[in-house]
Amino acid sequence: MFSKILIANRGEIAIRVMRACRELGIPSVAVYSEADKNALFAKYADEAVFIGPSPSSQSYLKIDNIIKAALETGAQAIHPGYGFLSENTAFASACAENGIAFIGPPSSAIDAMGSKITARQTMKEAGVPIVPGIEKGINDPDEAMDLADGIGYPIILKPAAGGGGIGMKIVHSRGEMLPALTSSQSVALSAFGDDTIYIEKYLTEPRHIEFQILADEMGKTIYVSDRECSIQRRHQKLIEESPSPVMSDELRERMGAIAVKAAKAIGYASAGTVEFMYSRGDFYFLEMNTRLQVEHPITEMVTDVDLAKEQILIAAGQPLNYDQSDIQIRGWAIECRINAEDPLNDFSPAPGRIQRYRSPGGPGIRVDSGVYSGYLIPPYYDSLISKLVAHGKDRKEAIARMERALYEYIIVGVKTNIFFHKAVLRNARFRSGDFNTGFIKEENIADAVVRVAAEDFDKHQSLASALGADNRKVAAIAAAVGSYLGQQKPEEKH
């Protein structure tokens, strides 16, 4: 086993991995930027090494600085968390060259999923269902039109190097092809330095369902749980749950077996996620994420598998602690991503100082976070304050616990999306479980946020005053609520 692990990340995920290290009795090393001098994760670690200025391009993305920190502290392994260098093969190779274990998959597996076209070819050959379309790049608009005629409109153009919806264009007819292709190519070139575009049949109203898998270095591969990730806005997931409301035992066995097949096809080892689009009983491979994901805790809550710990054990060469038959789904878990952002101002980031903070607790609640009362959220990184997770015996109890936890959550000083989450949880279609990736737009959740904020204002004031906030601080709650009341009830603003 490793005698020391460096965590090449920040915030809640750095703490999540350090918690696994602590339980395994392994000392942890944090690396931190200028803006993170006072961050909780840097204090939580057994050692902390300064790696550069606040912008991540000069710190958390600086491969040389991170390798140097590992060599200087004698760390034998590096966990990259999510984002930053977690799916960067140059970083995985730099670790290998310096005799440091990369806690993640082999770089060949990262590479295999790097190009969407290659990934589609590999999956097709392995017998994994992919969305109807082509497995080659196109640059001739006439050829694109002919191919699209064969597939049938609408189609979607996707950059081969891409991800996260960037440069994707829906095309409804021949006439739309030329401008769409030109636009996709130019966005892809500037975003990814590669203007290769391919075509897929456009699926309407898909659900995004993904499978957590675990594979050891001996090739034993299992699926852990499925996750429903359709509640998103501009490809940014906001609420995830496990299992998916559409999942049956039979469907889970079928999709899980396909997820395992996908992982085996690329020689995968470590924790990973196979993403599918699901539409009217059919499902198709979309992409594979070769890292620990933000939403991994909901899988941990329903299966009791510690994914961060398993990743470390796998990287140390140990065989998986689980057979497929050991994995049972117990109850239901939901995660709300609590962000410092303003849902009424186009969800724009709202960094700043957290003046008062009290996170929820009680039965079935887990909060993964890197903040504290008095913490200054820096403007340089993502706006995640915490991941609030509720577990219950069934979906109904998980929702009730989440609503109760959102009621308890007090964050004074910065705007948050807590009212957005309340609005979704009160929505009848969400509660029915019958939704898809168009949910937030179709249900007009942005408008519902205003109503919910007004309804709950008094409750929040009374809880915040119990925290010892004076009148001005109580008014600052509404920094949390502020702009909503500004629109809804101007007479109550002062």
State the residues that interact with ligand MV4 by CB under 6 A: 131, 156, 165, 168, 200-203, 206, 208, 232, 235, 286, 437
Question: How far is residue 373's CA from residue 353's CA, in Å, rounded to a whole number?
Answer: 9
Whether the CB-CB separation of 273 and 226 falls below 8 Å is answered with no
- 335 φ/ψ angles, rounded to the nearest 5 degrees: -120, 130
Residue with tokens 């075509």: 199
Residue with tokens 């994760």: 41
Annotated catalytic, 291?
yes
Residue with tokens 């497929």: 324
Whether the CB-CB separation of 203 and 281 falls below 8 Å is answered with no
Measured CA angle at 341 (ends 338, 342), to 5 deg: 120
Q: Which residue in 233, 291, 337, 401 is the catalytic one? A: 291
Closest distance of CB 331 from ligand MV4, Å: 25
Whether the CB-CB separation of 371 and 308 falls below 8 Å is answered with no
Whether the CB-CB separation of 422 and 452 falls below 8 Å is answered with yes
3-state secondary structure 431-443: HHCCCCCCHHHHC
Closest distance of CB 28 from ligand MV4, Å: 32
CB closer to ligand MV4, 355 vs 417: 417
Closest distance of CB 204 from ligand MV4, Å: 7
Counting every residue written for the chain, the total comes to: 494
Helices then strands, each counted (H, E), the chain: 17, 22
Looking at residue 3, the DSSP 8-state letter turns out to be: S
Closest distance of CB 466 from ligand MV4, Å: 39
Measured CA angle at 356 (ends 352, 362), to 5 deg: 120
Cis amide leading into 243 (omega within 30): yes
Closest distance of CB 156 from ligand MV4, Å: 5
CB closer to ligand MV4, 208 vs 387: 208
Closest distance of CB 438 from ligand MV4, Å: 7
Q: How far apart are the first and last CA of the chain?
A: 59
CB closer to ligand MV4, 206 vs 243: 206
3-class DSSP assignment, residue 282: strand
CB closer to ligand MV4, 184 vs 437: 437
Residue numbers annotated as active site: 291
